[in-house]
Amino acid sequence: MNLPSRSAAKFLALALLLLTAARAVPDREFKTTPVMRLETRTLVQLLEVYHYNKDAVTAKDYPDLITDYMKEGLDPQRLFFTAEDEKNFRTQFGPRIETDLAYLGNIDTAFTIFQTYEERVKARTAWIFEELKKNYDFTTQEVYAPDRSKSEFPANAAEADELWRRRIKFEILQDVLGKKTQEEAKASIHKRYERMLKNVGDIEPLDIQELFLSAFTRMYDPHSSYLSSDTLQDFSIQMKLSLIGIGAVLSIEDDGNCVVKEVKAGSPADLSGQIRTNDKIVAVRQQGGEAIEVIGMKLRRIVDMIRGAKGTKVTLTVLPHDAVDATKTKEVHIVRDVIKLDEARATAAIYDLPGENNQTVPVGVISLNSFYGPSEDTADTAANKNAATQDVAELIGKLKAQGIKALVVDLRRNGGGLLSEAVDLTGLFIEQGPVVQVRDSMGRLQVDSDTNASVTYDGPLAVLTSRFSASASEIFAGALQNYGRAVIIGDSSTHGKGTVQAVLEMKNFLPRLSQNITNTGAAKLTYQKFYLPNGSSTQKKGVIPDITLPSIDDFLPIGEADLPHALMWDEIKSTPFEGHALAKAFVQPLLEASHERQQSLEEFAYWKKNIDWSKERLEQKNISLNLSQRQALKQADDDFKKTMDAERDRLAKNNYASREIKLDSVLKTAVATPKEKPAPGGDDGDTDALDEDTQAKLDVHLREALRVVTDALRLNKDPQYWADGRAPITALHKG
């Protein structure tokens, strides 16, 4: 494919220079290579031609790349550089940065800044080793803010020294609270910074290229990135559904931490019940070895440590995503294995709710954790070629045969999947019509519709969502909301990811004379945006529920709106469709009844206590460096947890009776292969479900969703709420 070029002659000259290069660039030679020049210019052109927000970065924005690279790529906690460094680099490189990248493909700026960073790390490590020889007084009244991801760089070297003095004191205190002596803590910290120094020394030119160019692509939006040739060839975590071995997708965040971005349903990580989306992996230990801290380590090295042969064990030290104290880590033992497909599929249950005249009302619940579809791997057996829509259709048939009066679809941990499955699944609940509009950077619009007039389930319906419900989940929930087909219940909004990315390999866009080069990277670019049938985007705002439930998720930075440079919400013209949002006259009684329960029921009082406690801890940015105060706080937290656990167990005695409904193929597999006893722990990436033990005992959000849909069932009997000749949240039948 030919790209518009700023200077075809210069591009040709670079290609010829590349072809005459006789030897590869030696390791750790920090210099822009001919291949890097070609890739950089090509990346700029791809962004300017194909990115959905192609005009986001202008000439005046280019100097900001220097700051973004320093803060996001190299020093996310603002600990090594100073404000003086930032000012000097912007003065030195700012005026020429656009010319270097867009016209020359020169990224020497990135290498120069990195070399300064490496010098700062070496000097600071030597300073730390001297500092660790001192004795620390933990009776003074000092504080430290451990999360500096939103802070500025220290003004100068003196301010940096004071910042580091408190940081080292904080780290020692953390270990002391974890039952280590001060000397043991110092030894552990000494090892930590030795590893950090080694990690920095292992950074190669291709890594710097990736950091720098990804900082550039993220100026367009947070989901675009540059993948170096090493990342693309060895193990591109962004292009894989799961890590071989444990079934988790990882990334390195701005603070240098290794973060779980996705847990694949049915994987060893999922079945452990102890790893959730946004958890941080702090250390990795092989069977029989010692734990190796991975903070600041290259992603490729972490991946290599976690992957392994089937049947072998790896131990991860994990800091939960909602932990309010960095000492609250846990060890998770995982036996590496392939993903168990049956565990990843839709599941169902029937709950018996109290009804009129001492009768119970059976309500079905289908939990769907991803919009999965048939594998493209032709080696897969027919049994493995499952699709979310066909599985849900089968479960609906079984639930209807059991006489359910209403249905809840639980998407709280569904991060998306195949758009085609979201469209087909929506079609199970509507007669036919548009489900999603997809617009590209050229303004071209495609409407994906359900064309099957049959309806699998036409009864009262609710969809349960959370801040973790993303992408295809938001299309499904939003479309049903547009059609007035379901009551949406959950967190204040879904995740808000309404964009589509494509991976473009550089070798396919280089000039013809360099087409034989294979050692190139790729660009992952946002090129499309989702819109619902009514024209509203799901980007950033997500899907706003009809009934909002209290949730700690709403206070955590886990949504699209929390990401820098996120594309804005907008709307386009509605596409014609037969349906409309639920009338306020119908939703209002449901909302009022739910609000009354939220104010009166003990389970919501219990839930709000947990939320208030977590919120208070999350808002505590400055942490005391006084040992007695920290011990008192830790004791208070432990006491609170014990009290809440006891209250949860008491309230769980009022759970509704329930029974599981399983897919036929799952039942057959279970007979053929007896299932091992599941490990204790959670089933959910949603913080509101806590862990499996808590979820099984008291799932506050699901209980309320069941009550809401049961209220809707009662309202449906009253014709005053009917429109278009049908009861609300039921499928329209023509003729």
Mean pLDDT taken over the chain: 86
Residue 498: which residues within 8 A CB-CB, separation 6 or more? 471, 474, 529, 530, 531, 537, 538, 539, 540, 542, 560, 567, 569
Q: Catalogue all structural domains in the chain, each as residue range(s) with its CATH number.
A: 57-219 (no CATH), 243-335 (2.30.42.10), 341-502+528-721 (3.90.226.10)
pLDDT at residue 306 greater than cutoff 80: yes
pLDDT at residue 501 greater than cutoff 90: yes
What average pLDDT does the segment 541-555 reach?
96
Task: For the chain, give the percent of residues with pLDDT over 90.
Answer: 66
Task: For the chain, give the percent of residues with pLDDT over 70.
Answer: 86
**Residue 119: pLDDT band with limits 50, 70, 90:** very high
User: 264-285 pLDDT, tens per residue?
Assistant: 766 788 778 788 888 889 889 8
Determine the Cα angle at 169 with ends 167 and 170, to 5°.
65
What average pLDDT does the segment 578-607 reach?
96
The segment with the largest mean pLDDT, out of 26-30, 180-184, 242-246, 676-680, is 180-184
Q: What are phi and psi of 603, to 5 degrees?
A: -65, -35
What pLDDT, on the 0 to 100 scale, is given for residue 268?
82
What pLDDT, on the 0 to 100 scale, is given for residue 310?
81
Question: Which of 37-46, 395-404, 542-551, 677-686 is the least confident region?
Answer: 677-686
Contact 511, 214 (CB under 8 A): no
In whole angstroms, give the CA distance from residue 504 to residue 361.
Answer: 52
What average pLDDT does the segment 100-122 reach?
97
What pLDDT, on the 0 to 100 scale, is given for residue 681?
39
Distance of CA 103 to the CA centre of its chain: 35
Contact 366, 348 (CB under 8 A): yes
pLDDT at residue 22 greater than cutoff 80: no
Higher local confidence (pLDDT), 507 or 421: 421
What pLDDT, on the 0 to 100 scale, is given for residue 241?
36
Question: String of b and e for 698-723 (b: at least 16 CB within 10 Å)?
Answer: bbbbbbbbbbbbbbbbebbeeeebee
User: 666-720 pLDDT, tens per residue?
Assistant: 888 777 655 544 444 333 333 343 344 444 589 999 999 999 999 999 998 887 7
